[in-house]
Amino acid sequence: MGSTENINIGDARFQGLLERFLRIRSAGDTAFDADRHLDEDTFAAFVEGNLTMREASPIVSHLAECGFCRHKTAELVRLDLAFAELELPASTSQTAPVRTSNVIEGILSRLFGTGDAAVMAHEEKPADERSSEDEKTERE
């Protein structure tokens, strides 16, 4: 048996039979089109139990039939549990960094290789306007 915990159902033979049946059955329950699978947003909300009953009804029905999505949710539950104790509270600081644009520049630098390219990709305003905006940010 795949599960390690023993459930008292009165007939262990039936438990073994059901488990084997379900495993075989699951080989055939993935015949859904890709566009019918749940999206990331729904996966996250389901795993956190953050859905209303009305909203969840079609999702639970889908998961009972779609091994692809169900397995993803199972993996995400494990991940959620693994990180439950590690999560740090999100920052509530209201103090702005010296140059907030550095954050985005840093991200794009890593993606594209150079800081200059990142700045060009990010900038949507002329340099003089940008400069005054940064000064304003610094004052805040």
Partner 1 sequence: MNEVLQQVFDVVTSELFERCRENAPNFGVTVERFQASLEKTTRKYLIDASAEPATEADLRAFIEMIQADDLFLALACADGNERAWWEFDHGNRSYMERVARHLAKTEADAEEVVDWVYGELYGTRVVDGERVSKFATYSGRGSMRGWLRTVIWHSLVDMHRASHDEVSLDEMTENVGEGAAQASFATAPAGGEDIMIEGITRDRYRKATVTSLANAFASLEAHERLLLMYYHVDNLKLREISRLVENEGSPLRGWFQRRSQSREKDPNAKIHESTVMRWLEKSYARVLQLFRDELKGPHGLSDAEIEICMGLATQDLAGGDIYRNLTGNA
Q: Which of residues 70-109 bind partner 1 (CB under 8 A)?
A: 70-72, 74-84, 86-88, 90-91, 93, 96-97, 100-101, 103-104, 107-108
Please report, to the nearest 10 degrees, the dihedral formed by the alpha carbons of residues 85, 87, 92, 95 taken in order: 130
Structure tokens at 61: 């029905």
Least distance in angstroms from the C-beta of 100 to partner 1: 4
Nearer of residues 26 and 128 to partner 1, judged by Cβ: 26
Question: Which DSSP symbol is given to 38?
Answer: P
Instruction: Confirm or reject binding of residue 28 to partner 1 (CB under 8 A).
Output: yes
Instruction: Confirm or reject binding of residue 11 to partner 1 (CB under 8 A).
Output: yes
Instruction: Confirm or reject binding of residue 119 to partner 1 (CB under 8 A).
Output: no
CB 52 within 8 A of CB 26: no
Least distance in angstroms from the C-beta of 4 to partner 1: 7
CB 32 within 8 A of CB 66: yes
Instruction: Confirm or reject binding of residue 129 to partner 1 (CB under 8 A).
Output: no
Q: How far apart are the first and last CA of the chain?
A: 61
Least distance in angstroms from the C-beta of 128 to partner 1: 17
Phi, psi of 68 (to 5 degrees): -60, -50
